[in-house]
């Protein structure tokens, strides 16, 4: 990343972190993925259960092998190879009671709102309630100026790129463009906008902003 992009990331991330605080969420900035990974690992308590939610970002920074090596930590991973659909769904349910949930968001606004669109809904459910700690790893490429642009980013970019990744039989997996389909394999089913946390959950959500382009 060139020095001007790096400067933008550093300046803009500071404002977002301030706005997250006003919403009773935590935020921090790491200039690169390696530093982010180490800081996230240090946030996971010994012996914790950790729910791995769908995220190309956390996979891309090589987080999960390192999490699995932490003393006494159990990773709940519903994408583990060899699971039946029923077993995978059961692990999604177990993830709701994990100590820590780690994922990413589809977009974050400058004023600190977290915007997501899920296929099944387990990711936004766990982000909203259940796990005692939620750690969200967010590349600065996911910053949007406001809610409208965040939702447009999610629907017309993140969702369609994810559709290409899944290879599902949905129109956007062919065209790269959303046509608001009614397909049984539609991946856009549950919107979530997290505006903040109540005082009793202050700091439950920690957003780790990263000065790199990560995920979609």
Binding-site size, ligand SF4 (CB under 6 A): 14
Distances (CA, A) of 164 to 48, 61, 80, 209: 34, 21, 21, 25
- The residue within the footprint of ligand SF4, chosen from 159, 194, 209, 210 (CB under 6 A), is 159
- Using the contact rule CB under 6 A, the part of the chain among 71-79, 122-130, 169-177, 198-206 near ligand SF4 is 169-177
Residue 188 binds to ligand SF4 (criterion: CB under 6 A): yes
- The residue within the footprint of ligand SF4, chosen from 134, 135, 170, 210 (CB under 6 A), is 170
Residue 115 binds to ligand SF4 (criterion: CB under 6 A): no
Joined together, the tokens standing for residue 184 give 């049984």
- Using the contact rule CB under 6 A, the part of the chain among 8-16, 33-41, 130-138, 170-178 near ligand SF4 is 170-178
Residue 54 binds to ligand SF4 (criterion: CB under 6 A): no
125 alpha-carbon distance from chain centroid: 12
Name beta bridge partners: 108: 114, 143
- The residue within the footprint of ligand SF4, chosen from 160, 204, 207, 208 (CB under 6 A), is 160
Per-residue DSSP letter, 100: E
For residues 150 and 144, the answer to whether their CB atoms sit within 8 Å is yes
Which residue has tokens 């979609």?
216
Residue 104 binds to ligand SF4 (criterion: CB under 6 A): no
- The residue within the footprint of ligand SF4, chosen from 2, 65, 69, 180 (CB under 6 A), is 180
DSSP secondary structure string for all residues of 31-89: SSHHHHHHHHHTTSPTT-EEEE-S-HHHHHTTHHHHHHTSTT-EEEETT-TT--HHHHH
- Using the contact rule CB under 6 A, the part of the chain among 20-28, 39-47, 122-130, 159-167 near ligand SF4 is 159-167
* Residues 151, 108: Cα–Cα separation, whole Å: 10
> What is the contact surface with ligand SF4 in residues (CB under 6 A)?
159-160, 163, 170-172, 178-181, 183, 186-188
């Amino acid at each position: 990343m060139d020095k001007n992009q790096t400067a933008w990331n550093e300046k803009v991330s500071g404002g977002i972190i301030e706005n997250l605080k006003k919403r009773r969420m935590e935020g921090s900035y790491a200039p690169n993925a390696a530093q982010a990974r180490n800081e996230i690992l240090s946030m996971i308590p010994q012996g914790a259960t950790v729910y791995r939610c769908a995220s190309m970002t956390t996979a891309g920074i090589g987080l999960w092998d390192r999490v699995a090596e932490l003393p006494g930590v159990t990773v709940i991973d519903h994408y583990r190879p060899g699971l039946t659909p029923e077993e995978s769904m059961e692990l999604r349910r177990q993830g709701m009671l994990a100590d820590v949930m780690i994922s990413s968001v589809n977009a974050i606004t400058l004023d600190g709102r977290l915007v997501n669109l899920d296929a099944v809904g387990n990711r936004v459910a766990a982000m909203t309630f259940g796990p005692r700690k939620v750690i969200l790893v967010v590349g600065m490429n996911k910053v949007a100026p406001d809610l409208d642009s965040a939702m447009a980013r999610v629907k017309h970019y993140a969702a369609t790129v994810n559709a290409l990744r899944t290879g599902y039989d949905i129109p956007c997996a062919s065209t790269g463009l959303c046509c608001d389909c009614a397909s049984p394999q539609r991946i856009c089913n549950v919107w979530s906008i997290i505006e903040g946390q109540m005082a009793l959950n202050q700091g439950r959500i920690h957003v780790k902003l990263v000065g790199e382009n990560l995920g979609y």
